[in-house]
Amino acid sequence: MKTDAVRSLRRKLADNSPVFGLWVTLESPSITEMAVSLGIDWIVVDAEHGHLDWKEIVEHIRAAVRSQTVVLVRVAERSIGLIKRALDIGADGIVVPWIESADQLREIVSYARYPLEGVRGIGAERATCWGQCLTQHTQEANEHVLVVPVVESVAGGRAIDSMLQVDGVELFFFGPSDYSSSAGYRGQWEGPGVADQLLTMKDKILAAGKNVGVIATSNENLQDRLRQGFRMVCLGIDSGLLLRSLHGALATVGQDRRIVASFAPEGDTLSAVVDRPPEAYRPDRSEVITPVGTGMTTELRRGVNFECLVGKSQGARNLTTGLVTFAPGSQLECHLHPYTESVTLLSGSLLVEVEGRRYTLTALDNITIPRNLAHSAMNASSSQPAVAHVAMPTESPSRTLVDRFFSRRGMSEDSPGKEGAERVTRLRTADRFTAGQGASFIDYFNRDLVPGIEMSGGFGLFQPGGRLLAHFHDFDESICIVQGRATCIVEGRKYTLSNCATALQPRGRVHYFINESQEPMAMIWVYGGPVPERMVVAEHNCTAEGNPWKSR
């Protein structure tokens, strides 16, 4: 145990200074050695998930020896054997998952302390210098060992007040993804309402004189977390940081792509894909194609009309998309939503203002506005209408008017938006990646780009003959054809779309798009989930004969 490193960490936190860490999941101790060389404050070696064995864990601990970097080990469960072993091989503390009560917390504290305060046995391992420092280590260990519970369930959140009364715990950690799962939003980093619940808990922890940590999902999110008052902030997971760098490098040469669960690169041969969708994804609704002019239309205010192309009237779930048309000189007054809104300009020119920050959009530029941010939109042209594609992660849109003055300032043409608030993507400078044969995509928004978002989406350009592989999703999808003519195949049913006609593909429907014309085709796609995942299946699932959901 490095008592000096633990003291240093505590001093920084007591001074209200942030301490930055790295989550280690890969086996090479060089990862920890590099982080330590850069002066990182702490690392967590993850022995709960993944494949690290005890030999690899101890090598990570050794890589931080004689440094000021605190090394914590996340054990797999609330177990005296696992906690004792992690501490015996030299960890400065333990991180314990899924703590849901004060009694559980007292239990793990006792496992981490020697008698009389606890029940930890004394071993002749690294922590005691193989028995040579028994007296020194056992006298200082109880005072300096760090016990960090992970609050990652709704039940744990409800018990936070009682857990704050437990002695021997000065740090807590949040697990937003598991918390969201326990709240009914599996697969989302921070599902609806979860972000606010975590911030409320964070305030309680800080008010009790303790600290709380969380993993940042991006460099922008890192700044957000600091502004929110988190002081133990993880820069990222080692594998995630590596992938983030790889994606960025590949994007610069136009070769970026997503990883799919089969580990086969998207666009690879059909032999690598799943033969048919699992039965659990059987859809309960049919696809719906809505041409422009046939959707339900609402006048938002004089001169501003919304036509719903995917939403409640089409049977969509957690998703509404459509077109907003602004007459010359018309304006949509300042308002906000309890969910994110995406606005992509299709034609004309549009001025969008978010809390006084003014952005001028040109064709196929996108602005994504997180929930509860006041914004307005105006067509400054006196002669030409403006048309925008909008998307919201709800089937029941609502808005609240805002009567508040914001100091206005024009934002530059290359402004990406405000960190922690709106995100602006310019078509001319956006990163592109290969999504399939002859198809390049731009991500406008997802949870990596806009932390806490409830949906994902972007722009796709298909050259003649360009196409995607047959696939399905674990959420509803909206696809609006904004340029050219597209062919959509759904389980043997064939549709032709153009002029902003929009397809609703419900969860589980197997489909793909192909450009069978001689001109480029483009789409705006929006998923009713925060991660843009496609599950690729064999082509025969998109034929009438191979339809996986036909009656058997």
Task: Please name which of 340, 336, 339, 338 lies closest in space to residue 353, comparing C-alpha atoms.
Answer: 336
Structural contact between residues 80 and 94, judged by C-beta atoms closer than 8 angstroms: no
- The label of the residue with tokens 């606010």 reads 196
pLDDT given at position 220: 76
CA dihedral 204, 6, 40, 236 (to 10 degrees): -40
Task: For residue 206, give the 3-state DSSP assignment.
Answer: helix
Confidence category of residue 515, pLDDT binned at 50, 70, 90: very high
What is d(CA 421, CA 188) in angstroms, rounded to the nearest whole number?
19
pLDDT at 270 over 90: no
Backbone angles phi, psi at 8, to 5 degrees: -60, -45
Q: Which of 175, 184, 178, 148 is nearest to 163 (CA)?
A: 148
For 463, phi then psi, to 5°, come to -75, 165
pLDDT single digits (tens) 360-418: 999 999 999 999 999 999 998 999 999 999 999 999 899 999 998 899 999 998 899 99
Q: Do domains 3-248 and 270-542 have the same CATH topology?
A: no
In the DSSP assignment, the letter for residue 412 is: P
- Give CA–CA dist 318/1, Å, rounded: 50
User: Is 0.85 surpassed by the pTM of this model?
Assistant: no
Neighbouring-strand partners of residue 234: 21, 215
Can you give the residue ranges of every domain in the chain? 3-248, 270-542
How sure is the predictor about 261, in pLDDT bands with cuts at 50, 70 and 90? low
Mean residue pLDDT of the chain comes to 92
pLDDT average, residue stretch 418-447: 89
* Residue 251, pLDDT score: 57
What is the CB-side half-sphere exposure of residue 42 using CA atoms within 13 A?
Answer: 34
56-70, 251-265, 268-282, 332-346, range with the lowest pLDDT = 251-265
**pLDDT (0 to 100) of residue 271:** 34
Packed helices 3-14 and 134-144: angle between N→C axes, nearest 10 degrees: 20
With bands split at pLDDT 50, 70 and 90, how would you rate the model's confidence at 257? low
Q: Are 463 and 526 in contact (CB under 8 A)?
A: no
Lowest mean per-residue pLDDT among 141-155, 220-234, 339-353: 220-234
**Model confidence pLDDT, tens digit, residues 75-110:** 999 999 999 999 999 999 999 999 999 999 999 999
pLDDT greater than 70 at residue 537: yes
Mean local confidence (pLDDT), 147-171: 97
Evaluate whether 517 touches 464 at the Cβ level (below 8 Å). Answer: yes
pLDDT at 117 over 60: yes
Give the burial string for 494-512 (b: 16+ CB within 10 Å, else e). Answer: eeebeebbbbbbbbbbbbb
**pLDDT at position 260:** 62
Tell me which CATH code domain 3-248 carries. 3.20.20.60
- pLDDT for 269 equals 33
Calculate mean pLDDT across residues 113-138.
Answer: 94
What digits encode the pLDDT tens for the residues 449-506?
998 899 999 999 999 989 988 999 999 999 999 999 999 999 999 999 999 999 999 9
The 3-state DSSP class for residue 348 equals coil
pLDDT tens-place string over residues 39-70: 999 999 999 998 999 999 999 999 999 999 99
Report residue 225 as tokens.
């977390």
- How confident is the model over 163-203, as pLDDT tens digits? 999 999 999 999 999 998 899 877 778 877 888 999 999 99
Q: What is the pLDDT of residue 2?
A: 96
CA nearest to 321, candidates 445, 496, 417, 462 = 445
Cα 446 → chain centroid = 7
Write down the pLDDT at residue 267.
42
Spell 123-157 as b/e; 16+ CB within 10 A means b. Answer: bebbbbeeeeeeeebeeebbebbbbbbbbbbbebb
CATH value of 270-542 in 3.20.20.140, 3.40.630.30, 3.40.50.2300, 2.60.120.10: 2.60.120.10
Phi/psi of residue 465, nearest 5 degrees: 85, -10
Per residue in 313-324, pLDDT (tens digit) is 999 999 999 999
Closest CA relative to residue 375, chosen from 447, 442, 423, 312: 423
pLDDT exceeds cutoff 90 at 144 = yes
Model pLDDT for residues 491-511, shown as the tens digit of each residue: 999 999 999 999 999 999 999
Bridge partners, residue 440, by sequence: 434, 461
